[in-house]
Amino acid sequence: MSSAAYLLLEDGTVFKGKAFGAKGEVEGEVVYSTNMTGFGESLTSPKHSDKILLQTFPLVGNVGVDEEVMASKCNAAGYILREYCDEPSNFRCESTLGEFMEKRGIVGLQGIDTRRLTHMIRDNGGSLKGKIVVGEE
């Protein structure tokens, strides 16, 4: 059973979802990526260093993680998704995205209205400060 998780934004907006990946809290600049594939590249990109990354594509994790492909250092501090798939189906899959993130200390939040959040970020010049907090249901 996953814990409840919250995204608290600098303007006072709160999004409630479910946690995945590492437990804990993370704060930073919330930015978005419109990539349809390659979540690994998004998480390891130096431009996302210490940022909370919002993935606009609605389902992420369905191919799992190939550790060889994801060997680079993860730079994102947090990851936000509309829907996280914890049962990947790919012959190269060695772990789930959640397991990968847990090993690397990346806090995840899923199950929120990512479309609304993307519009908020875009309307605020491309980023908002925020904090992901994992709590009790």
Q: What is the pLDDT of residue 109?
A: 97
Give the pLDDT confidence score for residue 132 in this predicted structure.
Answer: 98
The pLDDT of residue 135: 78
Distance CA 65, CA 63 (A): 7
pLDDT at residue 19 in the model: 96
Q: In angstroms, rounded to a whole number, what is the distance separating the alpha carbons of residues 12 and 34?
A: 25
Residues 54-94 have pLDDT tens digits of 998 766 655 566 666 666 677 889 999 988 877 777 767 67
Task: Indicate whether 133 pLDDT > 70.
Answer: yes
DSSP 44-87: H-GGGTT-EEEE-SSEE-TT-B-TTTT-SPP--SEEEESEE-SS
3-state secondary structure of 129: strand
For the residues 95-119, what does the mean pLDDT come to? 91
Largest CA distance in the chain: 43
Q: What is the pLDDT of residue 12?
A: 97
Q: Which amino acid is at 52?
A: I
pLDDT at 108 over 90: yes
Question: Residues 2-58: pLDDT tens digits?
Answer: 799 999 999 999 999 999 999 999 999 999 988 756 666 777 788 888 999 999 876
pLDDT at residue 63 in the model: 57
